[in-house]
């Protein structure tokens, strides 16, 4: 593979041979890793096909590598793969404890190949004026999120164009900001200091929503700070110095910003302020219900690009068209298999064998020493480009609640919540699910923030419970025999979900996701904020 960034035309071309590339990628990984400790244990040198590989190596999860990784982190080599570790990707904590995933130059070279696609697809140059609404780990750090690792890798090679970001390199690659509110203030201030921004970029569009909400609710403070050369929030001295050194925009433009933001009739304010805005970048789709609609309320029809589908373990695919959360699998980034939903560990199919409309869990083998690693995501196949699948992310395989055998999926709860839109809520709501074992029998609790009348919470609870019974036979049976109590809707004050995340979850920039499943500690936090 060459080191130049790939084009969409090139990607579509190699997708025509995706099946063979997938098999060739596997054989390269096995050949390179044959003399590693893991390779010797699993007989890599005797494996000559994808079928024999799948028979020799079981599907794995992170705990299967934890002892190897612990040894690697103190300097041992040639354990999982022969390639040197150049960085460690840290997980966002979606499934509990933090994970450390080895990253190699061999992997990063492949992962970054198509990361600049949104600019060519949108018809703008990579030097377009941009704002990244989070932060990237500085070059002195070797442990970071996967997105920081990707952007660091590109910047080191002169291909990220960090100088085109409105916040400047000092506020782009930094670890001085230690909480989300500090990041929001800084990025919002930069945004309201620069009328020429053409691209707002994030990893998830959730961060875009939060920055535009922050601007809407704090514009007066931010604009006053810009005009007066002040900083109204607690920030590190180096960050303050950087913000105060930035050019002050035209006063007339600031007055126009204030006028637009103070007018409650202008909900879609973003294109009114940044008139040259051409692109929004961030992951969205049905796995994040309601978010695209909320973003559109602020941004209207500004084109939206769904970035990449990736995890800490592998960058598997990229969006390849505007305004659609479809991802095209990138041949050569790893060896891919798909496990049909509900099948056993051994039952996998190759990418060219998946069926359109089918739901699968992605299993991958990487250039970072992971072999037949279960991604934990359910993907729905929506088509093909050549031999390479196109898919949408559905949900995490683990996002299933189970009090007493009902196995209630989060997506079923989401479907029920949205079926009641117009009856109990109209605009945006944020919600999360907790399990209440304080009484007998236990019950589900839905914590709702936003457009719901607390006086109608009882009616909402009953209607939602009825829909869940219709959609899950086991839930219905367990409700009928009294093993589950009726679901309870609890309305909470504005900001409860964000405050819960800030207090109870690790601070990992650029990896903010809305709360969905609550721990007992989270649930108690939310109960204290009930209306």
For every residue of 421-441, which 3-state class applies, written as one string? Answer: ECCCECCCEEEEEEEECCCCC
In this prediction, residue 121 carries a pLDDT of 94
Q: What is the pLDDT of residues 155-202, one digit of tens each?
A: 888 888 788 999 999 999 998 998 888 999 999 999 999 999 999 999
Are the C-beta atoms of 375 and 60 separated by less than 8 Å?
A: no
Tell me which of 61-65, 92-96, 439-443 is least confident: 92-96
Burial label, 226 (beta-carbon count in 10 A; 0-12, 13-18, 19+):
buried
In this prediction, residue 411 carries a pLDDT of 80
Strand 279-283 and strand 199-204: the pairing is parallel
* pLDDT winner (highest mean) among 363-372, 481-490, 498-507: 363-372
Question: Residue 291 — pLDDT band, cuts 50, 70, 90?
Answer: confident
- Mean pLDDT of the residues in the chain: 91
Where in the chain are the domains? 8-111+306-396, 123-302, 400-527
Mean pLDDT across 250-274? 96
Residue among 44, 3, 6 at smallest CA distance from 26: 44
Give the HSE-up count for residue 263: Cα atoms under 13 Å, Cβ half-sphere.
14
Statement: residue 3 has pLDDT above 50: no
How far is the C-alpha of 273 from the C-alpha of 261, rounded, in Å?
Answer: 9
Reduce the DSSP state of residue 262 to 3 states and report it.
helix
- The fold of 8-111+306-396 is Rossmann fold (3.40.50)
Tell me which of 64-78, 153-167, 270-284, 359-373 is least confident: 153-167
Q: Which residue has the higher pLDDT, 178 or 365?
A: 365
Question: Residue 397 — pLDDT band, cuts 50, 70, 90?
Answer: low
**Percent of the chain, pLDDT > 90?**
70
Mean pLDDT across 419-441? 90
Question: Residue 24 — pLDDT band, cuts 50, 70, 90?
Answer: very high
Are the C-beta atoms of 53 and 26 separated by less than 8 Å?
A: yes
Q: Which CATH architecture group holds 400-527?
A: 2-Layer Sandwich (3.30)
Give the HSE-up count for residue 466: Cα atoms under 13 Å, Cβ half-sphere.
8
Q: What are phi and psi of 148, to 5 degrees?
A: -60, -40
In this prediction, residue 158 carries a pLDDT of 83
Tell me which of 13-17, 150-154, 218-222 is least confident: 150-154
How far is the C-alpha of 133 from the C-alpha of 200, rounded, in Å?
Answer: 7
Reduce the DSSP state of residue 400 to 3 states and report it.
strand
Contact partners, residue 34, CB within 8 Å, separation at least 6: 40, 44, 45
Q: What is the pLDDT of residues 453-498, one digit of tens each?
A: 999 999 999 999 999 999 888 888 889 888 899 999 999 999 999 8
How far is the C-alpha of 273 from the C-alpha of 251, rounded, in Å?
Answer: 14
How far is the C-alpha of 58 from the C-alpha of 276, rounded, in Å?
Answer: 52
């Amino acid at each position: 593979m060459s080191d130049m960034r790939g084009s969409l035309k090139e990607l579509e071309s190699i997708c025509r041979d995706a099946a063979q590339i997938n098999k060739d990628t596997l054989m390269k990984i096995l050949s390179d890793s044959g003399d590693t400790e893991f390779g010797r244990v699993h007989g890599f040198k005797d494996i000559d096909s994808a079928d024999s590989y799948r028979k020799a190596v079981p599907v794995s999860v992170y705990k299967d590598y934890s002892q190897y990784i612990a040894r690697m982190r103190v300097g041992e080599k040639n354990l999982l793969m022969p390639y040197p570790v150049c960085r460690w990707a840290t997980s966002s904590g979606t499934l509990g404890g933090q994970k450390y995933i080895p990253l190699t130059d061999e992997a990063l070279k492949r992962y970054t190949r198509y990361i600049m696609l949104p600019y060519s697809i949108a018809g703008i140059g990579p030097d377009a004026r941009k704002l990244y609404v989070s932060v990237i780990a500085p070059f002195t750090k070797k442990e970071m999120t996967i997105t920081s690792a990707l952007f660091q890798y590109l910047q080191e090679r002169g291909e990220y164009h960090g100088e085109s970001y409105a916040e400047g390199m000092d506020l782009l690659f930094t670890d001085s900001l230690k909480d989300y509110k500090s990041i929001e203030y800084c990025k919002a201030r930069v945004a309201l200091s620069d009328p020429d921004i053409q691209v707002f970029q994030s990893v998830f569009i959730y961060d875009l929503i939060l920055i535009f909400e922050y601007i809407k609710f704090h514009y007066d403070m931010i604009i006053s700070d810009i005009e007066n050369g002040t900083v109204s929030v607690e920030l590190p001295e180096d960050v303050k110095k950087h913000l105060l050194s930035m050019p002050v925009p035209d006063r007339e433009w600031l007055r126009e910003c204030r006028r637009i933001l103070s007018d409650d009739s202008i909900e879609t304010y973003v294109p009114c302020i940044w008139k040259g805005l051409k692109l929004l970048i961030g992951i969205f789709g049905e796995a994040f219900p309601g978010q695209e609609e909320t973003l559109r309320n602020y941004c209207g029809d500004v084109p939206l690009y769904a970035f990449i589908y990736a995890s800490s373990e592998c960058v598997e695919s990229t969006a390849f068209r505007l305004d659609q959360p479809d991802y095209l699998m990138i041949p050569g980034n790893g060896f891919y298999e798909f496990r049909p939903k509900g099948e056993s560990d051994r039952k996998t199919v190759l990418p060219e064998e998946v069926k359109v409309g089918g739901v699968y869990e992605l299993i991958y083998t990487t250039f970072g020493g992971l072999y037949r690693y279960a991604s934990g995501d359910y993907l729905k196949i929506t088509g093909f480009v050549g031999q390479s699948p196109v898919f949408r992310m559905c949900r995490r395989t683990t996002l299933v609640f189970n009090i007493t055998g009902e196995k209630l999926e989060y997506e079923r709860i989401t479907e029920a919540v949205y079926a009641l839109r117009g009856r109990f809520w109209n605009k945006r709501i944020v919600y999360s699910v907790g399990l209440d074992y304080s009484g007998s029998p236990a019950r589900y609790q839905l914590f709702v923030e936003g457009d719901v009348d607390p006086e109608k919470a009882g009616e909402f609870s009953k209607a939602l419970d009825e829909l869940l019974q219709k959609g899950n036979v086991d839930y219905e049976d367990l409700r009928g025999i009294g093993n589950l109590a009726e679901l309870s809707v609890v309305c909470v004050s504005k900001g409860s979900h964000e405050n819960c995340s800030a207090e109870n979850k690790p601070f990992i920039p650029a990896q903010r996701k809305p709360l969905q499943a609550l721990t007992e500690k989270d649930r108690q936090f939310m109960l204290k904020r009930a209306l």
